[in-house]
Every structure is written in structure tokens, then in C-alpha cells.
Chain A
Amino acid sequence: MNNRLKVLRAERDWSQAHLATELGVSRQTVNALETGRYDPSLPLAFKIARLFQLPIESIFSDEE
């Protein structure tokens, strides 16, 4: 699954550590999410969407 997390984070000039704190996860988890090597659970995906104030489908996509 692809996502725009890295872009959205860069737009806000946030570090991975800051995003991790906001989401209540570790920095390693944020890194795994950004590289697309770990797909978040639905609750975490909703939390990410709320944080960026965007719909989930505009952050995550299942297209290759």
C-alpha cells in the first residue's frame, strides 16, 4: 500500500520524531509507515487522517 505520509510531513516541516509523538507511536514505526513497508491498522489510519485533517483515501492508496 502506498501513502503520502512523507510528503505531508515534509509540507508541515515535521520530523519523524514529532509525527511519532503526535501519533503515539515510535519513530521506527513512522519510518516503516513512510517507506510503505508497514500498513497501519484502521484506528491508526484514522488517527493519521485526523491529524492531517484529510480523508484516509487521500493519504493511503492501494495502487502500485
Chain B
Amino acid sequence: MAGKRKLYIQSAIALGLFLAATFVTGGVIGYLSEGDKDLLASPVALAVVVAFAAVSMLIAMWISLKWMSSIDEAAQEAHKWSWFWGGSSGMAVGGVFVILAAMPQAAALKIPAWYADRTDPAAYAATGAFAMLTLMLIGYGVAWAWWWLGRR
């Protein structure tokens, strides 16, 4: 119990630091880009964003590892089972769309520009990644609920 409480506190601190870093970074970028409109297109900005994304994901992985080791074995099994079956099922649904993308009809498909109002290849790639991730997470959630409901 004490271990879990410690994890909650550490996670809250990590989230707080992340939000503070995001706020400060956003403020600095906003201030600097006011005088230089091409700032975000510079190699330095790219390096900063790459580093920020990498550190964010490392922190997320660290919290996940801590979380996974703090829960009991049945809860761990539920997550593993759900990620395999639910995640795989979600990926299978997404796979149908990946195959359909090879059809000539798909070339004329227009996807709403939701990603920073962009419709370039990188924005479409991000759309595909988010769509696949969403399907996998939906499958994961359903499988997780299924696992626990079956063991009530």
C-alpha cells in the first residue's frame, strides 16, 4: 500500500514537472517565434522537440514500469492478456484499413485536416498512427473489462 502511495506521489510530481516544462517551453517558443516566424522550422527547434518527445516517452515508460510492478499478479495478467488480445484485435481492424489503402479508390480519399490543420504526408502518417493506436486502445479496454467481468 505504501509502495502504491509512493508511486502515486511520484507520478503526480512527474506529471506536474511535465506540465510545467510544457508550459515554460510553450511560453519560450511563443516569445521567440514572435520575432522569428521561421523559428519552428530551424534545426535547433527540431532537436529540442525530438529531445522533449524522447524524454516524455521515457518518463511515460518509467511510470508504466513502476505501475506494472506495483500491482498484483492478477492485475498484471489482466493487462498482459488485454494488450495481447484486445490490442491485436484492434490492430486487425486497423489492418483492414491498411489493406484498403492499397485500392485505387483510396487515392481520392480526403481526410479532414485535424492535425494542426495540415494535409501533408506527415500529417496523414500521424493520422494513421493515431487511428491504429485508438483502435488498439479500444480493443485493450474492452478486453480488460472482459477479463475482470469473467472473474467476478
Measured CA separation A32–B72 after assembly (Å) = 12
Q: Does chain B have a CB within 8 A of A29? A: yes
Q: Does chain B have a CB within 8 A of A38? A: yes
CB distance from B7 to the nearest CB of A (A): 15
Q: Does chain B have a CB within 8 A of A17? A: no
Chain A residues touching B, majority SS = loop
Are the CB atoms of A26 and B151 closer together than 8 Å? no
Are the CB atoms of B151 and A35 closer together than 8 Å? yes
Please, how many residues of chain A have a CB less than 8 angstroms from a CB on the other chain?
14
Q: Which residues of B contact A15 (CB under 8 A)?
A: none
Are the CB atoms of A31 and B152 closer together than 8 Å? yes
Q: Which residues of B contact A40 (CB under 8 A)?
A: 73
Among B74, B148, B150, B152, the residue within 8 A (CB) of A25 is: B74
Q: Does chain B have a CB within 8 A of A41? A: yes
Q: Does chain B have a CB within 8 A of A28? A: yes
Q: Which residues of A contact B75 (CB under 8 A)?
A: 26, 28-29
CB distance from B151 to the nearest CB of A (A): 4
CB distance from A40 to the nearest CB of B (A): 7
Are the CB atoms of A25 and B72 closer together than 8 Å? yes
Q: Which residues of B contact A25 (CB under 8 A)?
A: 72-74
Measured CA separation A43–B124 after assembly (Å) = 48
Are the CB atoms of B72 and A24 closer together than 8 Å? yes
Chain A: which residue is nearest B152 at the CB level?
A31
CB distance from A56 to the nearest CB of B (A): 16
Q: Which residues of B contact A18 (CB under 8 A)?
A: none
Q: Does chain B have a CB within 8 A of A8? A: no
Chain A: which residue is nearest B74 at the CB level?
A29
Are the CB atoms of A44 and B73 closer together than 8 Å? yes
- In residues 131-152 of chain B, which contact A (Cβ within 8 Å)? 148, 150-152
Q: Does chain B have a CB within 8 A of A37? A: yes
Q: Which residues of B contact A38 (CB under 8 A)?
A: 74, 77, 151
A-binding residues in B (CB < 8 A): 71-75, 77, 148, 150-152
B-binding residues in A (CB < 8 A): 24-26, 28-29, 31-33, 35, 37-38, 40-41, 44
